[in-house]
Amino acid sequence: MIRIERRDAILEILIDRAERRNALTDAMYRDIERALREADADPACAAVILHGAGGHFTAGNDLAEFQMPQDSRDVGSIAFLHALASVDVPVIAAVQGQAVGVGVTLLLHCDFVYAAPDAAFRLPFVSLGLCPEGASSLLLPRLAGERRAARWLLGAEPFGAADALAG
């Protein structure tokens, strides 16, 4: 479930599915996309804060749903990533605990990322037989350097907040 709350000029988007480490479903992606587009269209909205419940940011895609047949022309995660990459309102991510897969690649499109000391990042695309999404194979080397990005993207090597900051 996605919880959306407006506090003055700030829109908070909370990924609240703690029992599944905030794994994202198609419906959740669509809710976040809609909230981002509405915030972007609202001149009174100064920023969006995206965070997770229960001590984790997000475990990425809900793999049970992800393995079901989908119409590749209408996928909520793609619409969400397009919205995140195109909004003009500043998006701030507050990361604690696990950030896996799209939970990491979406951060490359945020304006500011706060990673708590316990943040643990992992990009398991290759080990799952998937192609990294969200232009992460282009953006991550630019931000972190080619060698570190290759270890993280191709080797699925976990890394922490200090490693991410060392870029």
Kindly report, residue by residue over 4-24, the tens digit of the pLDDT.
999 999 999 999 999 999 999
- The Cα–Cα gap between 11 and 156 comes to 33
**Cα 2 vs. chain centroid, distance in angstroms?**
13
Nearest to 92 by CA among 62, 121, 57, 124: 57
Percent of the chain with pLDDT over 70: 94
* Mean pLDDT calculated for residue range 65-71: 65
Asked whether residue 161 carries a pLDDT value surpassing 80, the answer given is yes
Give the model's pLDDT for residue 65: 75
Give the model's pLDDT for residue 141: 96
- In words, the CATH class of domain 2-123 is alpha beta
Kindly report, residue by residue over 9-62, the tens digit of the pLDDT.
999 999 999 999 999 999 999 999 999 999 999 999 999 999 999 999 999 999
Give the model's pLDDT for residue 165: 85
Q: Are 147 and 157 in contact (CB under 8 A)?
A: no
- The Cα–Cα gap between 121 and 112 comes to 16
Asked whether residue 72 carries a pLDDT value surpassing 70, the answer given is no
Write down the pTM of the prediction.
0.93
